[in-house]
């Protein structure tokens, strides 16, 4: 395993700056984000990582493909848009030679990430009408099982497309705190079960310590995943959570996660890819990126690899 | 199934007031909290519920028995204190004739509920030293697997004690967001597996919609639990979370949970007990308790039982 910088950890860096930073700090791989790649330009980004001799450990991210659970034309259009966008993401991942395209599958249909629930659904009047999984006007769906079916349907469309382009889709289970708005995939076991219908080179899973550290089945599901593990991402889980739960990710050692058992299990499962550090954190984003990378390297050795 | 008021929903009410409120609103059962019972007096509380003809659907709560994971004498003393306190809780549940004693098992050893992590453990210096599950001075343990073993050990002591007194311990899995500080039991399946070593009348599990709604294995684990379900508690899961995640519980219909599939599964599992509404929520605590109970009754019918 080898350390990789997910560029979101050094959020102010462009692709060019992140590539330079990786080279300067002796890292062999970088995880890129689609919006940064778009700003840099896809062709230019490809050129930068190739000339620097870096591996692209992942492209973040595809997914958000549950809105098909909205009723009627709204749902059909949303599903089609999601497939189109994911095909573009797959094309970009292929161009970049990314080891995988990380898939954050989306939350309940109609719930926008980080936004309050749509008006008119969460009051008394709407409660009965939507409790059975139906959707109030302009609203969202509480049909969690249905949302999960939409993910499986989208995957059936996208996995062959990815396979033809040599791209591996990496299904990322997110901490259950993100189930309403970001990912109805909530456990590694669930993501793994979904992947099994496809060849290993088409669909894998992400083990992100932040999202899965609490899971009582983690060890056995990591072992069961084996070579399905497409990405091992590490960061810590802060406690208490900050007001914006999206920013609850911390530098390894700053939170509650005991990394060694997880790292050992991932190694024992046969994972030999890069280990990405991906941290969303206001303090880390405000700090000097070079200092962040230096700390990240030290903590990776001291905390993540401290399996002895 | 019959509706029960968990008195924490009407937080300002004493035991006497909650009992009166249940009678006034035609409820047949009440869930009580130990601190309220202590304030009212145990004997007086017993008298009040008996004279009112109410069932005590649960006593909240025992548990917090992971601190034995701290090293040396500190751990041994904490474990002994936890057992003593839980034996007292069992005695109180027996006196009250409670249907179960709800067990919130505790988080990582040394982490106080709702408090920041202990100083001196979450910095760089302490990270390596505690990453393997060890404990920094004055600190906490990141050994999650070990904390879970402490729960099993405590249960082995307490289950027979409860059994002799006719009390059922109800293991409550809490949402993974509470894993650091309140409960290392994070899924219904995990709680159920832990219960299986004991007779059904000694150890059961709680299905609380707030905590388990996201679980992809929920339906099958409810079915597997069958008559092990000691309590069905309902409230909604608010989104986004409030700054204090403890107060993220909402009135049924105000959040993201689709209740009917869960209610159907609990009924199909053979549950015939009371359904407690337990809501921690600043707005609901500020409202007129009688209005809260009236709303609760209406939402129970319209949202929780809307299985048609």
The pLDDT assigned to A218 comes to 98
> pLDDT category, A135, cuts 50, 70, 90?
low
Report the C-alpha gap between B67 and B135 in whole angstroms: 12
Q: What is the mean pLDDT of chain A?
A: 93
CB B66 within 8 A of CB B151: yes
**Cβ–Cβ gap A175/B175 under 8 Å:** no
Position A128 pLDDT exceeds 90: no
The pLDDT assigned to B120 comes to 52
Task: Find, in chain A, the residue whose alpha carbon is nearest to that of B254.
Answer: A122
- A-chain CB neighbours of B106 within 8 Å are none
Backbone angles phi, psi at B98, to 5 degrees: -65, 145
Q: Which residue, among B50, B19, B29, B59, has the nearest Cα to B275 in the 3D structure?
A: B29
Q: Is B56 helix (H, G, I), strand (E, B) or coil?
A: strand
Report the C-alpha gap between B253 and B160 in whole angstroms: 40
Query: Is CATH 3.40.605.10 what the domain over B2-283 is classified as, yes or no?
Result: no
> Per-residue pLDDT tens for A24-39?
999 999 999 999 999 9
N- to C-terminal Cα separation, chain B:
16
N- to C-terminal Cα separation, chain A:
16
Report the C-alpha gap between B9 and B289 in whole angstroms: 8
Report the C-alpha gap between B121 and A245 in whole angstroms: 22
**Cβ–Cβ gap B127/A303 under 8 Å:** yes
> Per-residue pLDDT tens for A157-201?
999 999 999 999 999 999 999 999 999 999 999 999 999 999 999
**Cβ–Cβ gap A257/B175 under 8 Å:** no
**Cβ–Cβ gap B180/A302 under 8 Å:** no
- A-chain CB neighbours of B190 within 8 Å are 216-217
Report the C-alpha gap between B224 and B214 in whole angstroms: 17
CB A165 within 8 A of CB A94: yes
The pLDDT assigned to B129 comes to 40
* Tokens, residue B37: 């019972």
The pLDDT assigned to B306 comes to 86
> Per-residue pLDDT tens for A249-290?
999 999 999 999 999 999 999 999 999 999 999 999 999 999
The pLDDT assigned to B153 comes to 98
Q: What is the dihedral angle through the alpha carbons of B16, B17, B20, B24, rounded to the nearest 10 degrees?
A: -170
Q: Which residue, among A105, A171, A69, has the nearest Cα to B258 in the 3D structure?
A: A69
Residue appearing with tokens 């002591």: B157
A169 bridge partner residues: A101, A203
Output the tens digit of pLDDT for each of chain B's 308 residues. 899 999 999 999 999 999 999 999 999 999 999 999 999 999 999 999 999 999 999 999 999 999 999 989 999 999 999 999 999 999 999 999 999 999 999 999 999 999 999 875 533 333 334 444 455 556 899 999 999 999 999 999 999 999 999 999 999 999 999 999 999 999 999 999 999 999 999 999 999 999 999 999 999 999 999 999 999 999 999 999 999 999 999 999 999 999 999 999 999 999 999 999 999 999 999 999 999 999 999 999 999 998 65
- B-chain CB neighbours of A121 within 8 Å are none
- B-chain CB neighbours of A302 within 8 Å are 124, 127-128, 131
Helix (H) or strand (E) holding A80: helix A72-96
The pLDDT assigned to A139 comes to 86
Between strands B29-33 and B2-6, the pairing is parallel
Q: How many CB atoms lie within 10 A of CB A68?
A: 24
**Cβ–Cβ gap B131/A180 under 8 Å:** no
Give the distance, in angstroms, between the CA of residue A219 and the centroid of all CA atoms in the same chain.
Answer: 20
The pLDDT assigned to B125 comes to 33
The pLDDT assigned to A306 comes to 86
The pLDDT assigned to A242 comes to 92
Shortest Cα–Cα distance, B56 to chain A (Å): 28
> Per-residue pLDDT tens for A20-77?
999 999 999 999 999 999 999 999 999 999 999 999 999 999 999 999 999 889 999 9
Task: Find, in chain B, the residue whose alpha carbon is nearest to that of A212.
Answer: B176
ipTM over 0.85: yes
Report the C-alpha gap between B138 and A5 in whole angstroms: 33
Chosen from A256, A262, A284, A302 to mutate, greatest number of chain B CBs within 10 A: A256
Average pLDDT over residues A98-114: 97
* Tokens, residue A249: 């990710």
**Cβ–Cβ gap A123/B240 under 8 Å:** no
- A-chain CB neighbours of B241 within 8 Å are 177, 241, 245
The pLDDT assigned to A122 comes to 34
Backbone angles phi, psi at B139, to 5 degrees: -110, -155
The pLDDT assigned to B1 comes to 86
- B-chain CB neighbours of A299 within 8 Å are 124, 127
């Amino acid at each position: 395993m080898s350390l990789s910088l997910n560029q979101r950890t050094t959020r102010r860096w462009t692709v060019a700056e992140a590539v330079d930073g990786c080279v300067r700090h002796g890292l062999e791989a970088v995880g890129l984000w689609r919006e940064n790649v778009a700003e840099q330009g896809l062709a230019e980004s490809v050129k930068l990582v190739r000339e620097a001799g870096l591996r692209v450990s992942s492209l973040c991210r595809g997914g958000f493909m549950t809105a098909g659970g909205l009723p009627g034309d709204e749902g059909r259009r949303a599903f089609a848009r999601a497939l189109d966008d994911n095909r573009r993401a797959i094309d970009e991942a292929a161009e970049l030679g990314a080891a995988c395209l990380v898939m954050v599958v989306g939350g309940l249909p109609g719930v926008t990430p980080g936004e309050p629930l749509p008006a008119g659904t969460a009051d008394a009047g709407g409660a009965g009408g939507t409790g059975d999984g139906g959707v109030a006007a302009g609203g969202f769906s509480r049909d969690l099982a249905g949302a999960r079916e939409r993910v499986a349907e989208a995957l059936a469309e996208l996995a062959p497309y990815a396979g033809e382009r040599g791209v591996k889709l990496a299904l990322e289970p997110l901490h259950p705190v993100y189930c309403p708005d970001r990912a109805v995939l909530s456990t590694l076991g669930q993501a793994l079960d979904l992947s099994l219908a496809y060849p290993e080179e088409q669909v894998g899973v992400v083990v992100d310590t932040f999202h899965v550290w609490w899971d009582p089945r983690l060890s056995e599901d990591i072992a069961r995943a084996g070579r399905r593990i497409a990405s091992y991402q590490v960061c810590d889980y802060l406690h208490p959570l900050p007001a914006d739960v999206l920013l609850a990710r911390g530098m390894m050692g700053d939170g509650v996660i005991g990394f060694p058992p997880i790292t050992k299990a991932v190694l024992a499962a046969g994972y030999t890819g890069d280990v990405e550090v991906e941290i969303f954190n206001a303090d880390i984003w405000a700090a000097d990126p070079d200092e962040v990378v230096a700390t990240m390297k030290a903590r990776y050795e001291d905390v993540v690899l401290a399996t002895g």
